[in-house]
Structure 1
Amino acid sequence: MEDFGLMENFNQLKRKLDAMSVPELYEYVRVKYPENEELALGSKKIIIRKILNFERNLLNELETAGQ
Structure 2
Amino acid sequence: MTELNAQSDRLLRLKEVSRRVGLGKTMIYNLIGQGRFPAPYKLTPAAARWSEQEIIAWIGLVKDGFEGKKRRA
**Greater per-residue helix proportion:** 1
TM-score, normalization by structure 1: 0.30
Q: Which structure shows the bigger proportion of residues in strand conformation? A: 2
Greater RCO, CA 8 A, separation 6+: 2
